[in-house]
């Protein structure tokens, strides 16, 4: 069994490096911790069967490939065959585009004779929702808690701004429990069943 751990460790490490991934990036792709990936690569532990299948699918190899010794590597990571894009630049372009559109709408109303500053407040929410979507598309989910917390704060702010003449400031007391619910929901972990 110890030999199998060493073989799997070697294969995971080699494939991860061939794909240009750090342990943290690999862990994020399979929704595991980088500590688990580190244990697998040190041959301290073996990934369970589901994770082994996930790794095989991710690297475009068979499960058998991960479990056997290889003297010669003929794996070409799919990323080398497909174009890669800088997700941070694309996200920045989307954010700038949203605020440029808000500015354009503001200027149109301004020249008509209506000054509507709330347009910029609404554009912040659109930008946050777009950021959340792109964050999930790029699989950078580690910032989702912050983004969703900001969206909740934005919703309360927009409601308060929109209804400020109605004097509903006590509504802001709901902000703390709402943020707490968001925080606690990110602490929910899937438990492994033992049967």
Give the burial string for 11-47 (b: 16+ CB within 10 Å, else e). Answer: bbbebbeebebebeebbbbeebeeebbebbbebeebb
Tokens of 34: 């980088």
> Look-up: residue for tokens 């240009």?
20
Q: 37, 57, 80 — which closes off a domain?
A: 80
Does residue 75 sit in the same domain as residue 95? Answer: no
Phi, psi at 130, each rounded to 5°: -60, -40
Task: Give 33 or 73, the one with higher predicted confidence.
Answer: 33
Does residue 91 sit in the same domain as residue 160? Answer: yes
pLDDT reported for residue 82: 45
Mean pLDDT of 90-102: 92
Tokens of 181: 């619910």
- The H or E element that residue 105 is part of is helix 87-112
With a cut of 50, say whether residue 150 has pLDDT above it.
yes
Of 2-6, 17-21, 120-124, 139-143, the poorest mean pLDDT is in 139-143
Residue 102 lies in a domain: yes
Distance of alpha carbon 111 from alpha carbon 82, whole angstroms: 47
Distance of alpha carbon 26 from alpha carbon 143, whole angstroms: 17
Number of domains within the chain: 2
pLDDT-derived band at 118 (thresholds 50, 70, 90) equals confident
pLDDT reported for residue 124: 92
9-27 pLDDT tens trace = 888 888 888 888 888 888 8
Least Cα distance to 96 among 85, 107, 104 occurs for 104
Distance of alpha carbon 84 from alpha carbon 91, whole angstroms: 14
Find all residues with CB under 8 Å of 38, minimum gap 6, and list them. 23
Tokens of 132: 């959340």
Residue 191 lies in a domain: no
Contact 134, 91 (CB under 8 A): yes
Does residue 94 sit in the same domain as residue 177? Answer: yes
The answer to whether the pTM exceeds 0.85 is: no
């Amino acid at each position: 069994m110890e030999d199998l751990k060493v073989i799997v460790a070697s294969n995971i490490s080699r494939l991860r490096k061939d794909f240009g991934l750090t342990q943290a990036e690999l862990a994020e792709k399979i929704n595991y911790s980088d500590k688990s990936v580190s244990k697998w690569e040190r041959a301290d532990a073996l990934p369970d069967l589901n994770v082994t299948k996930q790794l095989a699918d991710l690297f475009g190899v068979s499960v058998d490939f991960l479990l056997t010794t290889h003297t010669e590597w003929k794996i070409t990571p799919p990323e080398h065959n497909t174009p890669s894009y800088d997700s941070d630049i694309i996200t920045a372009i989307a954010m700038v585009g949203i605020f440029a559109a808000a500015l354009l709408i503001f200027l149109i109303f301004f020249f008509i004779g209506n000054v509507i500053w709330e347009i910029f407040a609404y554009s912040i929410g659109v930008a946050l929702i777009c950021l959340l979507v792109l964050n999930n598309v790029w699989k950078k989910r580690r910032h989702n808690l912050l983004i969703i917390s900001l969206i909740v704060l934005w919703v309360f702010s927009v409601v308060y701004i929109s209804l400020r003449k109605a004097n509903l400031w006590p509504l802001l007391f709901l902000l703390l429990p709402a943020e707490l619910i968001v925080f606690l929901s990110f602490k929910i972990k899937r438990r492994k069943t033992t049967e």
